[in-house]
Chains A and B, each alone.
Chain A
Amino acid sequence: MINKTMRALLNVVLLIWAGQVSALEYQLQPKQIAPDTYLLQGKMQDFSRDNGGNIMNTAFVVTSEGVVVFDTGPSRHYGEAMRQAIAQVTDQPVLHVFNSHQHPDHFLGNQAFADVEIWVLPKTGEQIAQHGSAYAENMYRMVGDWMRATEVRLPTKPLDQPLMQVGDHRFRFYPFTGHTGADLVMVDETTGVMFAADMVFFQRMLTTPHTPGIGTWAKELRELAAIPFKLMVPGHGPVVNDTRAVEQMLSYLEWLDRTLTDSAAQGKSMHEVMQSKLPAALAAINLSRAEFVRSVVHLYPDYEEAAF
C-alpha cells in the first residue's frame, strides 16, 4: 500500500520535473511585419527564470541572396531557436548578423551564428570584449538554466560603412550613442523598416545603466524621428508605424530630468527621490516604477554634484 502511494507520488514528481524541463523552450514564432521582414517579439518584462531572458525584439530580413539578422538574443539556446525559426521561413543561408549594442540580450545568441560574419559598431565591439563575460555571468544568475553552454562569441567585423546592399535590399546604418554609448540603428531602405534596437522602447520603460546622459539620448531621439521610415521596430515593445514610441520616451526623459533637477535643488537624498510619484501616463508603462528607481541610482549623483 505504502509502496503504491510512494510510486504514485514519485510519478507526480517526475511529471512535474519533466514539465519544467520541456518548458525551457523559447517557442519563437516569426511574425511577418513587412515584405521579406520577420520579427521575433519578446515579452515586455524584466529578465526572469520564466521568460529565459526573451524580453527583447530580434528580427531578420530574407533578401534575394540570403538572410540578414538583427540581434541574436540573450542565450545560445535562443540563438539556436532563432536559427530554426529562420529555417522555417526560408532555405536561404544567413549572410550577415548585426549586434545593435553591448547589452547581453542582444548578442549572447551569437554562438548559433559562428559560421557568419557578425557586424558591430567599433565601440560596441570594445564594450562587448570588455564587459561581455560579466554580462553573461549576470544572466546565468537571473535566468538560470536557459543560459546553459552560453559563452560570449565576439563580433567579427567592425561596421564603419553607412550603406550595405544585400541582394535586393539596401540597408543604411546610423550610429547613435544615447542608450549605451554605441547604438546601431539599421534602416532597410527597400522596405522602409527601421530597426531601432534599444534606442527606442515602447510600452516598456527604458533602461539607463550605460547612457551617456538623458539629454544626449533625447537629442538623438529627435534626430532618429526625423529619419524617414514606414515601420519602426523598437528594441523592446510593439512595432509602430509613426513616432509614438519616441514621443512616449521623450515625455518620460523630460519628466525624469525635471524630477532629478528639482530633487537635487531641494537637497533630497537618493532614497527620497525614489519615492517620487510618476504621472499617470508614465506610470502605465510596463516596469515604469522599477526602471525609475534604477535610473535614480544611475543618474542622480550627477544632478546632486551639479546642485552643490
Chain B
Amino acid sequence: MKITTILTLCLSLMLSAGLQANPQTDPLNSVMWDYNRQIFLGNKAEYVFDDRIKVGVPAFAEDPTQVPLDIDATALTGRIERIVSWADLNPIQHIFTYYPHSDVLPKISLRIKVQQATAVRAAVLTTDGVWHIGSSWLEATGGGCTTPSVGNADPYWESHLGETKSRVFKGAQSSRYKFRVIHPMDTGLVGSIPEFFIQQVELRDDSGSALARMELSPPVSENPVITFDLRTTDAQHHLWLRDNNGNEFEKAL
C-alpha cells in the first residue's frame, strides 16, 4: 500500500471520529470547563453533556445584576440526588446546590448576577452516580458581581431584612411556590462591603423535615425571587432561610 493511501485512510478515520459528538466535550468550548468540573463534580466523577437538562437564560443580560435563570431537569428519568449550578466566568462561580425530595420536581427558577459573558451550567447528579450537564451561553456587558447592591444606597433593607412575600400557584398536576425575600446578597467583591447573603433555603413540611434544600452563593441576585415546583398540590409547607450572619427567617406558605 502506498504511504499516501495509508495517510489518507488515517486522516479519514481521525475525521470521522472527530465528527461524532463526544458526550464529554464541552459544547460551549469554555476555557473554565475543566477547572470548574474538577471543583464542583470532583476529579474522577463520571459525567455526560445531556440535552435533557435545560438551562434557560436570555441571549443577553439586559441587567447583569438580575439575569433570569430557569433550570429544568424534569426530562431526566433517573432519581436525582442534587443539582449544582455555576457560571464559568464569574469571580464566584457557584450559584446554588439544590437537593430536591422526590415530591419536588427538579425544576427551579431564580435570578443571578454575572460579571461578564459566560457559560451557565447545571450539573444534575442521578443516583447511579452520573452527572448530567446542561449549558447555555449568556452574553453580557458585565459588572454584576462588583456593583454595590441597590440596597446599599437605600437603608430600606435594614428595617425589612428577611421580609418574605410568597404565594402558591396551584396547577392541575403540580403546584408552584414562589417567594421573594428582602436581602442585599452582597458578594464581598465591592470595597468595604463584606459578603452578606442567604446561604440556606429549605422548604419544610408540617413535621419540619425538608422537601427541598438549597445552598445559595452570593451570585444569586439581591432580593431573591425563587420558585419551586411540587408534585403535590394540597400539603402545607413553610419556608426556612438562614444567611451567613446567622439570621434565620421563616414563613408559612
Contact call A298/B109, Cβ cutoff below 8 A: no
B68 interface residue (CB < 8 Å to A) = yes
What is the chain A residue whose CB lies nearest that of B63?
Answer: A297
* A 107-135 contacts with B by CB, 8 A: none
Q: Are B180 and A304 in contact (CB under 8 A)?
A: yes
CA distance A272 to B227 in the complex (A): 12
1/0 contact string of A63-97 vs chain B (CB within 8 Å) = 00000000000000000000000000000000000
Q: Which B-chain residue is minimally distant from A275 (CB atoms)?
A: B56
Residue interface mask B136-175, A partner, CB < 8 A = 1 = 0000010000000000000000000000011101000000
| Distance to closest chain B CB from A174 (angstroms) | 30
A241 within 8 A of B: no
Q: Report the count of interface residues on B (CB-CB < 8 A).
A: 23
Residue A256 interfacial (CB < 8 Å): no
Query: Which A218-270 residues sit within 8 Å CB-CB of chain B?
Result: 266-267, 269-270
**In the complex, are the beta carbons of B70 and A267 less than 8 A apart?**
no
B225 at the A interface (CB under 8 A):
yes
Is the beta-carbon distance between A272 and B62 smaller than 8 angstroms?
A: no
Contact residue range for chain A?
10 to 19
For the complex, give the distance between the alpha carbons of A118 and B63 in Å: 31
CB atoms of A271 and B68 under 8 A apart: yes
* Chain B residues with CB under 8 A of A270: 68, 109, 111, 225
A88 to chain B, nearest CB (A): 37
B68 near A274 with CB under 8 A, answer yes
B113 in contact (CB, < 8 A): no
Is B176's CB within 8 Å of the partner chain A? yes
CA distance A298 to B62 in the complex (A): 8
Chain B's closest residue to A269 (CB) is B109
How near does chain B come to A68, taking the closest CB pair, in angstroms? Answer: 35
The CA-CA distance from A274 to B68 in the complex, in Å, is 10
Is A7 located at the chain interface by the 8 A CB criterion? no
For A307, the closest partner residue in chain B by CB is B167
Q: Answer whether residue A158 sits at the interface, using C-beta atoms and an 8 A cutoff.
A: no
Q: Of B63, B68, B166, which contacts A308 at CB under 8 A?
A: B166
B180 contacts A271, CB within 8 Å?
no
B227 near A267 with CB under 8 A, answer yes
Contacts of B48 in A (CB 8 A): none
A271-B58 in contact (CB<8A): yes
Q: Which of A141, A271, A294, A305 contacts B70 (CB 8 A)?
A: A271
Give Cα distance in the complex from A294 to B180, angstroms.
21
Q: Is the CB of B109 within 8 A of A271?
A: yes
Chain A, residue nearest B70 (CB): A271
Q: Mark A130-146, 1 if CB is under 8 A from B, else 0.
A: 00000000100100000
Write 25 A-B pairs (CB below 8 A) sorted by A numbering. Answer: A138-B141, A141-B141, A267-B167, A267-B169, A267-B176, A267-B178, A267-B227, A269-B68, A269-B70, A270-B109, A271-B69, A272-B70, A272-B109, A274-B68, A294-B62, A297-B58, A297-B62, A297-B68, A298-B62, A301-B66, A304-B178, A305-B180, A308-B165, A308-B167, A308-B178
B interface residues with partner A (beta carbon < 8 Å):
56-60, 62-63, 66, 68-70, 109, 111, 141, 165-167, 169, 176, 178, 180, 225, 227
